[in-house]
Amino acid sequence: MNIPWSEWGEEINEELIKIRRAFHQYPELGYEERKTAERIAVLLKELGLEVETNVAKTGVVALLRGKEPGKTIAIRADMDALPLQEESKKSYRSKVEGKMHACGHDAHITYGIGAAKLLKKYQSHIKGNVKFIFQPAEESVGGAKPMIEEGVLENPKVDAILGGHVWPDTPSGSIEVLNGPVMASTGQIYLEIHGKGGHAARPHENIDPIMIAQEILQRLQTLTSRRIDPLESLVISICSFQSGETYNVMPEKAVLKGTFRTLNNKLRVEIPGKIENIVENITKHYGAAYTLEVTHLYPATINHEGFTDFAKASAEELLGKENVIQGNKPSMAGEDFAFYLEKVPGTFLRIGNYNAEKNLIFNLHNPHFDIDEAQIGRVAALYAKIAMDFLNR
């Protein structure tokens, strides 16, 4: 069946812009997305979908059943905003002080709703099911894992999953696809160095936690430069160093906070032990003690080659080969879509958003960030086409 996805996407674009702007004006942080979830549920129920709310606190899951039984594909959208003050003067700027959709999740929600609208038109031609997952808390503690634990990939069992993210480095109107790693695993480092405080004029009587912490900070960088294969990706960034209160008193304690990221999930498991080895040896040398917490957050987001190639082919049919970019450069940012990809085949698309003529030049998490609204219906149509192509192939 020849479905005019592009025409339908263009036809509903103005409606989708209004929906997106409503979400943009009233952003909510992770696990606070109650009004956002309520609005999503209303829109999906109006379409006649089976809707479940309060999944993993504030998540929404909707099911569109085709005319005939078959496989199930999921489309995932994250819902949460950032604790950031928007600096735009546009009429639809955030009306909530100190909160903003600066990562495009308002657009992600709208792509999912748009895809549901388009697929509903052709429900009688669908063999199988489309499950729409609207997930909380991607920006903070990660809502994907709790959603999975509450069964979003079951009843009916999901056979493949599709997700995407607006991408400021990719030209608007284009889609970028990557095979294999697309986003890095993430982890947190919290380290306390317990020394011995005293007068700054008598350092030999003290155990200086600042000097020890500085040495640890420098030595951690040797993991990336001397102890890990240079062809592997690893970033260790210490972003907070706190110690002391005045100029002539050596403090008792220094606190370091940071993050580590890699595209290799095997290396991810090894990093905490390598960090502790460095900390233990240096603190022991100086007679200090330490408290170390190394916490894993998200695994690496690794696209499945077969489904990614399939999605790319569908995108080329809809958008033209010239607008589908084969990417080869993963990002060291993290994304909890990784948890879904550990369970089922799928792909995470980069949705082009760069357009200098529209001043869409700002990166994610920037107070001036905005999306190219002219592309919303087009992306919704792409999601719908990939879903139907997968189910009916």
The catalytic site residues sit at 80, 138
Task: Give the other-Cβ count within 10 Å of 126's Cβ.
Answer: 20
Paired residues of 242 in beta bridges: 255
Buried b (16+ CB within 10 A) or exposed e, 318-329: bbeeeebbebee
CA separation for the pair 252, 157 (Å, rounded): 55
Alpha helices, DSSP H only, in 65-199? Answer: 105-121, 144-149
For residue 302, the one-letter residue type is I
Q: Phi/psi at 13 (nearest 5 deg)?
A: -60, -45
Q: Rounded to the nearest 10 degrees, how much is the dihedral formed by the CA atoms of 123, 124, 129, 132?
A: 10
CA separation for the pair 2, 108 (Å, rounded): 26
Cis status, amide bond into 156, omega within 30 of 0 = yes
CA separation for the pair 76, 162 (Å, rounded): 6
CA distance readout (Å), 135 to 43, 104, 129, 337, 354 = 16, 14, 19, 10, 25
Cβ atoms of 110 and 376 within 8 Å: the answer is yes
**β pairing state of 127-135 and 59-65:** antiparallel
CA separation for the pair 135, 170 (Å, rounded): 24
Q: Computed from CA positions of residues 307, 311, 312, 317, in that sequence, does the dihedral angle turn out positive or negative? A: positive
Q: Computed from CA positions of residues 336, 338, 344, 350, in that sequence, does the dihedral angle turn out positive or negative? A: positive
Residues 6+ away with beta carbon under 8 Å from 117: 12, 47, 380
Give me 238's structure tokens: 């210490």
Task: Give the other-Cβ count within 10 Å of 356's Cβ.
Answer: 9
